[in-house]
A = this chain, B = another copy of it.
């Protein structure tokens, strides 16, 4: 069933109003009729089956039929901080990361970032990113849309990281040494409801001074398996493993 995220203002008692692009999608793309049903998610993460009552003035009016008891959110609040990668790889990280359950994304620039965004470009990109995560949330049946932060630098990111329960960074060199920090030792320490910040460097990885700064500020380096992953694959490995541990193995 088609799913939409509806802002709080558009919920009234037993009714929901769908406006703007979602209304256009429902009317013009899906060519829905009165009586058709969709799932509407509210901003609290709840979802309801709703039935179309009427179309009026580019809006769709729906009646709430049944609140659903579903919970498709990852039990760990994972924020992916992604070093700005080349090309449109960040789109890919946002889309796949949303499907795999990330709660938030922070694009960041660091010493070895090839890509540089000024404030204007950052803001423009940000609008597109919000669209990507909204659509991926609808498609993957998420209960919440992940938050995408405006791009920031590593210093700011480290400062922000202090509010997380656990903070780690993927370090390519970690996969090459015999005595390594396994990702699983971190994952198994996590308790449901805790927050985890995962930093993934850009293509060239982190510089030595950056690694020193991360270590000094309570970030732990981890390897994500023995193979060398591309920057845009690392976040997906981490999220899939956390889902496997908490949602499939069922340990907590």
Contact = CB atoms under 8 A, between A and B. Distances in A.
* Copies per complex of this chain: 2
A225 interface: yes
A243 interface: yes
A100 B248 contact: no
A100 B228 contact: no
Contact of A244 (B100, B139, B183, B250): B183
A249 B249 CA distance: 12
B225 A247 contact: yes
Interface string A179-197: 0001110010000000000
A161 interface: no
A72 interface: yes
A167 interface: no
Interface in A181-232: 182-184, 187, 224-230
Nearest to A245: B244
A244 B248 contact: no
A120 B206 CA distance: 45
Given A140-B227, A140-B228, A225-B243, A249 B101 contact: no
Given A139-B230, A241-B248, A225 B101 contact: yes
Interface of A: 71-72, 96, 99-101, 139-142, 182-184, 187, 224-230, 233, 236-237, 240-241, 243-245, 247-250
